[in-house]
Structure 1
Amino acid sequence: MERLAADAVRARAAGLAALLVDAVDGGASVGFLAPLDPAEAAAWWARAAEETAGGVRDVWAARDGHGRLTGAVTLVRTTTANGRHRGEIARLLVHRAARGRGLGRRLLAAAEAHAAATGLTLLVLDTQTGSPAERLYRSAGWTETGTIPDYAADPAGVLRPTTLFHKRLT
């Protein structure tokens, strides 16, 4: 697993886009509808690379023994003056072929450790209520803050509730 600089995000854009497409095709509610066009996924990662260059987003990626991207997570820093102590875990992605081996937990832990090491004291995230990701966050010590009905459409376009979580890093 490695933290990617903006140039590395750009260089790995095709693999990251394929990972995002796999997640959406697999039912992950990460902001896109299925089928996700690989060009749209690549454009999202291009924007993420710009945010990484600007110090707003950090990106971690994991590869298998053959060098294929198997997972990624991003940490987005709040840029408002009154929120510089917090960040958001966004787009925790694990390829369907790599699930169930603890990769999501390791990616999450890497983002949390970096957040704490760089002075963030509070993290937030949201996930589809009842999803496997929700169970991961609970087991990793995140606290449920609340649930919002019909917050976001799943990849099939059906409105689903979203559970908000937070974690103090102090």
Structure 2
Amino acid sequence: MTQIVEIRAEDFDRRRSDLVSLLVDSVAHGASVGFVLPLTNDEAERWVESLRASIVSRQRLLWFAEHDGGVCGSVQLELCTKANGINRAEVQKLLVASTSRRLGIGRMLMQAVETRAAGLERGLVYLDTEAGSSAEPFYQSLGYTRAGGIPEYACGPDGTWRANAIYYKSLFLRSPT
């Protein structure tokens, strides 16, 4: 059975290697999440370490999907800290292990993110993904609306410049206070 677990700041250090391994695997199998091939363990470790301050401060929340004692997925939610944006949060780095894809792991992770965002009164969640990728129909199936995109936004893992697609979802409508 797969469980979704929010990683607390005090557990971050002992779970770092899980995130490093998942990131390296995901990028090696085509995930366009800000890295190009080859992604080394050292580079992945530096990136994971760069998350520490935002995880400890709770500006960024982190979840793992666990199955049979191993990590098979992860997602992050970055909370906007600007006074005029406390209603929004950005979904980042949805990763599913190459051996666990198409099993509903991504959907479970996104449901956890949306539930937590709503609980924190973050009624608007948004993300970007590679335009034309298999992620687009996935996010659309979750009720996300495409807002647009930017050509040649980022390199895919293979180094090819690609457009992004920006998506958002209103979890509930909120009036400014």
Shorter-normalised TM range: over 0.9
Aligned counterpart for 2:67 among listed residues 64, 67, 81? 64
CA–CA distance in structure 2, aligned partners of residues 25 and 140 of structure 1: 26
Moved more, 118-127 or 37-46: 37-46
Cα root mean square deviation, aligned: 0.9
Query: TM-score, normalised on structure 1?
Result: 0.96
The match for 2:10 is 7
The match for 1:141 is 143
Aligned amino acid, residue 100 of structure 1: R
CA–CA distance in structure 2, aligned partners of residues 137 and 109 of structure 1: 11
Query: SS at 1:150's partner residue?
Result: coil
Number of residue pairs the alignment of both structures matches: 169
Query: What are the residue-to-residue correspondences of 1:105-116 with 2, within 5 Å?
Result: 105-116=107-118
Query: SS at 1:149's partner residue?
Result: coil
Q: What percent of counterpart residues are identical? A: 39
Aligned counterpart for 1:126 among listed residues 125, 128, 144? 128
Per-residue deviation at 1:49?
A: 2.7
Aligned counterpart for 1:23 among listed residues 17, 23, 26? 26
- Where does the alignment leave 5 or more consecutive residues of structure 1 unmatched? none
- Where does the alignment leave 5 or more consecutive residues of structure 2 unmatched? 173-177
Query: SS at 1:131's partner residue?
Result: coil
Per-residue deviation at 1:161?
A: 0.8
State the 4+ residue runs in structure 1 displaced beyond 6 angstroms. none
Query: TM-score, normalised on structure 2?
Result: 0.93
Query: SS at 1:76's partner residue?
Result: strand
CA–CA distance in structure 2, aligned partners of residues 126 and 147 of structure 1: 8
